[in-house]
Amino acid sequence: MFHHLLLTAVHATIQQGNVNIDNNRCKGCGLCVATCPAKTLQLSNNVNTRGYNFSQQLRPNRCIGCASCALICPDACITVFRTGLRKTI
């Protein structure tokens, strides 16, 4: 019981993945925002050099490092890093 609670707490607070988004390549289609299972991404209110509302990671500590956003991104502007804990996609 205690172990389960501890694990939940760890999963809620420790970041498991990290994404790096190329802002100027992003076209703001929003597919990554819709596909992210942990809801960590959001379109920015600012625009990039081409006038698109680029995608950004607002809640990085909820990222699980699954790379769904990178697979669905049409412009290949997302780089994904795994920061530990999870071993499989």
Partner 1 sequence: MLLYKKPSLLTDTNMHYCPGCSHAVVNKIIAEVLEEMNIGTENIIGVSPVGCGVFIYNYIDIDWVEAAHGRAPAVATGVKRMNPDKLVFTYQGDGEVTAIGTGEVIHACNRGENIAIIFINNAVFGMTNGQMAPTTPLGMKTTTCPDGRDPQLNGYPLPMAQLFADIQGTCYVTRQAVNTYKAVKNTKKAIRRAFDYSLQRKGTSVVEIICACPTNWKMTPVEANKYISDFSVKTFPLGDLKRP
Residues within the interface to partner 1 (CB under 8 A): 17, 25, 27-31, 34-35, 50, 52, 65, 67-68, 70-83, 89
Provide, rounded to whole angstroms, the least separation between the CB of residue 72 and partner 1.
5
Position 70, amino acid: A
- The answer to whether the CB of 51 falls within 8 A of the CB of 20 is no
Element containing residue 20 per DSSP (H, E): strand 17-21
Question: Is the CB of 8 or the CB of 61 nearer to partner 1?
Answer: 61
Q: Please, which residue, 10 or 75, has the CB nearer to partner 1? A: 75
CB–CB of 41/32 below 8 Å? yes
C-beta of 8 vs 20, nearer to partner 1: 20
